[in-house]
Amino acid sequence: MGWHIPSGTAFFNDIYYEMLGYENGEFPSNYATWRTLVHEDDIERVEKELRVAVENGKGFNIDLRMRMKSGDWKWVSTRGKVVERDEKGTAQRMVGVLTDITGRKRAEEEINTKNALLQKLNSEKDKFISIIAHDLKSPFNSLIGFSKLLSENIEDFDKEEIRKFAKLIHDTSENTYKLLENLLEWSLSQKGSIRFQPEIIDLNRKLLDNIEQFRSIADRKKIKIIFEPKFDCLVKCDLNMINTILRNLLSNAVKYSYQNGQITVSVDTADNHYEVSIEDNGVGIKKEDLPKLFRIDCDINTIGTGSENGTGLGLILCKEFVEKHGCTIRTESEPGKGSKFIFTLPGA
């Protein structure tokens, strides 16, 4: 490496051995032995700082992890400097002290964990406020506006115009109700108020029931929903949670599908699990946005092909509820070619 530890430097004394749980003199008190006890993630940084101390005469103050005899890792702080050089300037001896800082490091980790939790809670609060302030306010303004226009001027409209206004009011009400459902479920999940009650469910029947709820909405956009059960499949899951997952994924598939599009639902086996896939050929998702889909602190607001709004809260609920079952959810997508959401459920 172009540098060396002074030959007069001993790396262990009685207290050093004791601090790490070893017997005095259990191994040679030299740099080669000392190096084997340093955590592999710390060694490069430690050697860099020691190199500077040896070559430039600067003192060092390094925090690192060292392996105890028990196999556990102890955080220590080592401070020192070169105190003797020969006539050529080559370091001959260093002195230093070692301090056990495990307690301090644990306290720092606890503080960092709490700070991360606070940041998460703040992000969730901001998202919640944003949804209430914008995503709820906007549809209610539409409802108030359309219903007022209709009630005050109904004599001026023909049947087709009245039907058009009624449809707009209905669609807005339906979308707002779905948003409220997600808001309430998400709020309850954060409070830990939602009980996880798994039971044995016919997955094919549950898929067919949820698909049927979206037939009329899909028909308006001339979208086909295809699902052909290939085999019987019983899963052990929470009924309310699976309904929320399917409702949100099917709603998104319809929302982001083009007119005359197609949504394909399928079930496959995967070890002791079943893998459910809901695929559309709609607008798709940018590659850089895929990692943000299931995060509350990221805002991805893509307008549906029928100008439908979305908050992203539904996907966050899907992830939470799927993970409650000890399972996973993932996405495959390409802009302009559609999206595919795949999640697993435990077999009964």
Contact 240, 321 (CB under 8 A): no
Q: List the CATH number of the domain containing 179.
A: 1.10.287.130
Residue after which a domain boundary falls, among 40, 65, 100: 100
Question: Structurally, how many domains does the chain consist of?
Answer: 3
Lowest mean pLDDT among 77-91, 134-148, 253-267, 325-339: 134-148
Q: Same domain, yes or no, for 112 and 213?
A: no
Q: Same domain, yes or no, for 246 and 288?
A: yes
Q: How far is CA 340 from CA 108, 256, 265, in A?
A: 41, 12, 10
Q: List the CATH number of the domain containing 263.
A: 3.30.565.10
Check residues 344 and 308 and name the one with the higher pLDDT.
Answer: 344
- Cβ neighbour number for residue 340 with a 10 Å cutoff: 19
Q: Same domain, yes or no, for 222 and 334?
A: yes
Q: What is the pTM assigned to this prediction?
A: 0.56
Residue 296 has pLDDT above 80, yes or no: no
Mean pLDDT rounded to a whole number for the chain = 84
Residue after which a domain boundary falls, among 144, 175, 194: 194
Q: Same domain, yes or no, for 190 and 233?
A: no
Q: Same domain, yes or no, for 233 and 323?
A: yes
In a domain, 3, yes or no: no
C-alpha span between 276 and 219 (Å, rounded)? 23
- Return the percentage of the chain with pLDDT > 70, whole number: 87
C-alpha span between 274 and 268 (Å, rounded)? 6
C-alpha span between 194 and 15 (Å, rounded)? 53
The pLDDT confidence band at residue 2, using thresholds 50, 70 and 90, is very low
Q: Same domain, yes or no, for 231 and 320?
A: yes
Q: Same domain, yes or no, for 23 and 135?
A: no
Q: Same domain, yes or no, for 211 and 295?
A: yes
The pLDDT confidence band at residue 314, using thresholds 50, 70 and 90, is confident
- Per-residue pLDDT tens over the stretch 117-143: 888 777 767 766 666 665 667 677 778
Q: How far is CA 209 from CA 203, 204, 227, 255, in A?
A: 10, 9, 11, 19
- The whole domain housing 89 covers 14-100
Region 317-333: mean pLDDT is 91
Residue 56 has which token pair? 């430039």
| All residues at 6 or more sequence positions from 3 whose CB lies less than 8 Å from its CB, including other chains | 51, 54, 55
In a domain, 208, yes or no: yes
Residue 317 has pLDDT above 50, yes or no: yes
Residue 1 has pLDDT above 50, yes or no: no
In a domain, 7, yes or no: no
Predicted pLDDT of residue 301:
65
Check residues 122 and 218 and name the one with the higher pLDDT.
Answer: 218
Residue 201 has pLDDT above 80, yes or no: yes
Q: Same domain, yes or no, for 38 and 130?
A: no
Predicted pLDDT of residue 342:
95
Q: List the CATH number of the domain containing 76.
A: 3.30.450.20
Residue 263 has pLDDT above 70, yes or no: yes
Predicted pLDDT of residue 66:
93
In a domain, 2, yes or no: no
Residue after which a domain boundary falls, among 59, 74, 100: 100
- Per-residue pLDDT tens over the stretch 15-26: 888 889 998 888
